[in-house]
Amino acid sequence: MELEKIDKIIEKYSSDSSSLTSILSEIQAEYSFLPQDVLKRVAEKLEIPMTQLFGVVNFYKIFKLEPSGKYIIRVCLGTACHVKGAHGILEEFERKLKIRVGETTKDLAFTLEKVNCLGCCSLGPVAMVNDDHCGQMNAVKVNSLLKRLSSSGKY
């Protein structure tokens, strides 16, 4: 791990704890997750106990302690999506990817997440693949989406 790179990110911000989430976000954008030795470095540099740092990382859902897949699929479980069958969409993704929500496939192709509202309620049920929204989802669309994204044809 290139700790110099981490130091540079930290230096951009003020050295008190208020910048903690911003620093962690930027590091995660770089590595896709927060490796343990990186967290140690952040704790050292900001002079905060590792327990406090770990508390923050665990509390906020955006932070990840394990690497994510190439495609992060986020299924919206907002109310409008729920009444239009969003849970069925999530279950179909789980079945096809053979992982549970929150997990990543072994080949690091897909990470499956749930999100409590993506704020495009008219399109429900909605799923998001990385930065793209897919509206009016159904089981058939789940299959065609995964086929399109999966280079190995495994899913």
- Assigned token pair, 131: 């930065």
Site string for another protein, 105-144 (x = CB under 8 A): ----------xxxxxxxxxx-x----xxxxx--xxx----
- Assigned token pair, 84: 């239009």
The closest of 34, 127, 24 to 72, measured between CA atoms, is 127
What's at 142, amino acid-wise?
V
Does 77 bind another protein (CB under 8 A)? Our answer is yes
Q: Can you spell out the DSSP letters for 33-62?
A: S--HHHHHHHHHHHT--HHHHHHHHHHSTT
In the complex, the smallest distance separating the C-beta of residue 53 from another protein, rounded to whole angstroms, is 10
Whole-angstrom Cα distance, residue 25 to residue 18?
A: 13
Does 15 bind another protein (CB under 8 A)? Our answer is no
Displacement of CA 10 from its chain's centroid (Å): 22
Would you give the end-to-end CA distance of the chain in angstroms? 32
Residue closer to another protein (CB basis): 35 or 135 = 135
Stretch of 1-9, 61-69, 102-110, 144-152 contacting another protein, by CB under 8 A: 61-69
In the complex, the smallest distance separating the C-beta of residue 20 from another protein, rounded to whole angstroms, is 4
In the complex, the smallest distance separating the C-beta of residue 28 from another protein, rounded to whole angstroms, is 11
Residues binding another protein (CB under 8 A)? 16-22, 25, 55-56, 59-63, 77-85, 88, 91-92, 95, 115-124, 126, 131-135, 138-140
